[in-house]
Amino acid sequence: MNTAIHSTNDPATKNEPILIKKKELAKRLSVSPHTIDAWVQRREIPCIKVTPRLYLYEVEAVMEAIRKKYEINAA
């Protein structure tokens, strides 16, 4: 039996963006999914349109957009 185990220490996986759905992003940011929709519509946060009903969000890109919009400096 040949099973591949993917290590989280693998250099190839460290550079891959973390993509999540709207509901998970809303939960992480403590806002409603409707707020996420509004931000996308106003182009305040980046997203990837997979299908007309499915958008994915890169966590770091969204956080950077929020930091920039609200002028939050990372300490």
Q: Is residue 8 part of a domain?
A: no
Kindly write down the DSSP assignment for every residue of 28-68, as one continuous string.
HHTS-HHHHHHHHHTT-S--EEEETTEEEEEHHHHHHHHHH
Rounded to whole angstroms, the Cα distance separating 52 from 60 reads: 23
Instruction: Tally the domains of the chain.
Output: 1
32-72 pLDDT per residue, tens: 999 999 999 999 999 999 999 999 999 999 999 999 998 88
Full residue range of the structural domain in which residue 51 is found: 17-69
Cα 45 to the center of its chain, rounded Å: 9
5-36 pLDDT per residue, tens: 444 555 556 678 899 999 999 999 999 999 99
What CATH code is carried by the domain that includes residue 55?
Answer: 1.10.10.10
Q: Is residue 12 part of a domain?
A: no
Predicted confidence at residue 10, as pLDDT, reads 57
Predicted confidence at residue 70, as pLDDT, reads 87
